[in-house]
Chain A
Amino acid sequence: GDSVTQMEGPVTLSEEAFLTINCTYTATGYPSLFWYVQYPGEGLQLLLKATKADDKGSNKGFEATYRKETTSFHLEKGSVQVSDSAVYFCVLRDSGAGSYQLTFGKGTKLSVIP
């Protein structure tokens, strides 16, 4: 079956530091990949997505590139802010109609200190 492995953290960074959260996956089909962010007390928000190999998703300064050769989708940001403190989930959704299931990584808690 499909699986997602991401660094669990917690990760603590100083403001303006560079962020990388590693994510690797296994899938039987041709999945789409997503990063979701969950701020304290809230639901999950879609941060970015990539639907095929070599696609780069980007949003709010965050980027991730779908690497089929290394089955990876690492999340990066050049300069984090205190407001980026949240839990980040790497998520896989297999292709094709009827592909309801999302496969979640365990989540990485990021704390950014001033």
Chain B
Amino acid sequence: DTEVTQTPKHLVMGMTNKKSLKCEQHMGHRAMYWYKQKAKKPPELMFVYSYEKLSINESVPSRFSPECPNSSLLNLHLHALQPEDSALYLCASSQDRTGNSPLHFGNGTRLTVT
């Protein structure tokens, strides 16, 4: 069982919809991440939060808006997406910012934009 919980598991949305992806962890981790994974590719980093502050935005389009309400929760708000944004969106967390702290991933949200 994964210790990082993501909801929903699947999401289908139109290009004019607004939706949110949610992520939760209760391991006391202070860094949380959003990744995007296309089929047969490794994950690509989108955002990093450290101690509830946005630390990294990998030049992600503004139609993706992250939010970290508290140390256990991470949201990704979606608006006016394009079909090419269809992918598996993975949330992850790590204990801290050091290099030997592994990331723990959730099972992802499979997003389809129609």
Contacts and interface: CB of A to CB of B under 8 A. Distances in A.
Given A43-B2, A102-B45, A34 B90 contact: no
Contact of B42 (A31, A43, A45, A104): A104
Q: Chain A: interface secondary structure? A: loop
Interface string B66-107: 000000000000000000000000101000111110111111
A46 B92 CA distance: 11
A64 B3 CA distance: 24
Contacts of B56: 100
Contacts of A105: 42
Nearest to A100: B48
B99 A43 contact: no
Tell me which of A30, A43, A44, A102 has the highest count of chain B C-beta atoms within 10 A of its own C-beta: A43
A interface bracket (residues with beta carbon within 8 Å of B): 20 to 34
Contacts of A98: 55, 97
A104 B43 contact: yes
Contacts of A42: 107-108
Contacts of B107: 41-43
B31 interface: yes
B99 A93 contact: yes
B60 to A, nearest CB: 14
Nearest to A89: B42
Nearest to A52: B100
Interface in B19-78: 31, 33, 40-43, 45, 48, 50, 55-56
Interface of B: 2, 4, 6, 31, 33, 40-43, 45, 48, 50, 55-56, 90, 92, 96-100, 102-108
Interface of A: 29-32, 34, 36, 41-46, 49, 51, 89, 93-102, 104-107
Closest 6 A-B residue pairs measured CB to CB? A104-B42, A95-B99, A51-B100, A43-B105, A99-B99, A44-B105
